[in-house]
Amino acid sequence: MRLLDLLRFTLLALRRQRFRSSMLLTAVGLGVSAVVVLTALGEGARGYVLGEFAFLGKDTVVIIPGRKETTGGMPPITGVAAHDITLQEVEVLARSVPGITALAPMVLGNGPVSYKSRERDSIVVGTTAAFFPIRQLEIAQGTALPELALGEGKQVAVIGQKLKQELFDNGRAIGQWIRLRDYRFRVVGVLASSGDSFGADLSEAIFIPVASAQAVFNVHGLFRVSLRVKENYQVEVVKKALAKQMQALHNGELDVTIVSPDAMLSTFDSILRVMTLAVAGIGAISLVVSGILVMNVTLMSVKQRTAEIGLLKAVGAPASQVRTLFLTEAALIAAAGAVLGILVGRLLVFAGTQFYPSVPFATPSWALWSSLGLAVGTALLFAWLPAQQAANLEPVDALGRK
């Protein structure tokens, strides 16, 4: 039998059994759309989390003072505080560790920022020019912080978009003097609005040179140091070199934590990938359940069309051909149901992206293909038994013994 004839013949049979066909279509469609929607949710969650981390940029390494010991042992009785990381140490690192391109030490504080009669409590970030590319922050107006020697202060500031609005409305901010505690700073730049980035809303922050911030807050140690690894250098190698250098600077004690967000990111990524797979599996179960329905419906079909099967055999159709006819019916309806399910699922996913634009819902293409494959596969598997039953009917019994 030719493929075209086979398809036409089975399509006619399916159209003839409209109710049963639409029932199967619905069952398979529901299963497939479940897979489509669930994997889109998983991928959306993954994309959302990765997006939240993305501000840290690629090839970034962060040094944080203090260290969580997991090895146990005696706690220090004398109450010795963790060593600070100082600007001098950062200078040593910059000189002695190869492979570092940008260094952004950070002092973090909080203070009232005022312009004329307006005052706002703001996050104060003391840092260097390198901070902006590392955190992927863009300057909308003016310039970033000037390149200064690490220990050099200067009375200049970059402010976030929101802070600018609150202090200046739509007026000009560049060149104006603002007050932070007892210090005055001239605004040299305004950030482009970058929205929320992982907890801290930097659009409400004010950025000043790190040495100035140390003076404002009267602190010596750094909150943390971000740096970027040069191309062609391995992040892990640079991390080891940094650790070794810090240990030497701190009298042989390794009391800083060195993390690379890349590594954290890939951990999150793989966790969320597994989660997506898990929810896809849950969706797949509903597909397998629909296979039972396929079996029942095919069984009904075989029972009702016994005479037709007998006739086909009488005109010379071998058992394999009868089986092919019924399997093709099941596969066709499953494929149609899967396509329908993919359409409905994508529609739902589209609706989701409209309601929650911040979450990047998207069904991965492997989920589309595998749900289609699974739908047709299960249909074939479960239709096999009834189709085999049809194929093995004795022609004389099928035609109806008189």
For β-strands 256-259 and 60-65, DSSP reports them as: antiparallel
Q: Is there binding between residue 114 and another protein (CB under 8 A)?
A: no
What distance in Å separates the CA atoms of residue 269 and residue 264, rounded to the nearest whole number? 8
What distance in Å separates the CA atoms of residue 314 and residue 369, rounded to the nearest whole number? 40
Residues 294-333: x/- map of binding to another protein (CB under 8 A)?
A: -------------xx-xxxxxxxxxxxx------------
**Considering the complex, what minimum distance in angstroms separates the CB of residue 18 from another protein?**
11
What distance in Å separates the CA atoms of residue 362 and residue 38, rounded to the nearest whole number? 10
**Considering the complex, what minimum distance in angstroms separates the CB of residue 305 from another protein?**
9
Binding another protein (rule: CB under 8 A), the pick from 5, 147, 169, 231 is 5
Tokens 């944080």 sit on residue: 64
Q: Is there binding between residue 80 and another protein (CB under 8 A)?
A: no
**Considering the complex, what minimum distance in angstroms separates the CB of residue 335 from another protein?**
21
> Could you give the count of Cα atoms lying within 13 Å of 246 in the half-sphere of its Cβ?
25
- The residue (of 138 and 394) whose beta carbon lies closer to another protein is 394
Which ranges in 97-231 belong to alpha helices (H)? 131-134, 161-168, 210-217
Q: Is there binding between residue 395 and another protein (CB under 8 A)?
A: yes
- The residue (of 9 and 48) whose beta carbon lies closer to another protein is 9
Q: Tell me if 192 sits within 8 A of 202, measured CB to CB.
A: no
- The residue (of 292 and 307) whose beta carbon lies closer to another protein is 307
Q: Is there binding between residue 13 and another protein (CB under 8 A)?
A: yes
Applying CB under 8 A, the site for another protein has a residue count of 28
Contact window for another protein (CB under 8 A) among 9-17, 124-132, 210-218, 282-290: 9-17
Closest CA to 157 of 185, 117, 182: 185
| DSSP structure class, residue 362 | -
- The residue (of 108 and 399) whose beta carbon lies closer to another protein is 399
**Considering the complex, what minimum distance in angstroms separates the CB of residue 386 from another protein?**
18
Q: Tell me if 87 sits within 8 A of 105, measured CB to CB.
A: yes
Q: Is there binding between residue 19 and another protein (CB under 8 A)?
A: no
- The residue (of 270 and 304) whose beta carbon lies closer to another protein is 304
Closest CA to 329 of 373, 269, 384: 384
Q: Is there binding between residue 389 and another protein (CB under 8 A)?
A: no
* H helix or E strand, kind and range, residue 209: strand 205-209
For β-strands 100-115 and 118-127, DSSP reports them as: antiparallel
Q: Which residues bind another protein (CB under 8 A)?
A: 1-2, 4-5, 9, 12-13, 15-16, 307-308, 310-321, 394-396, 399, 402
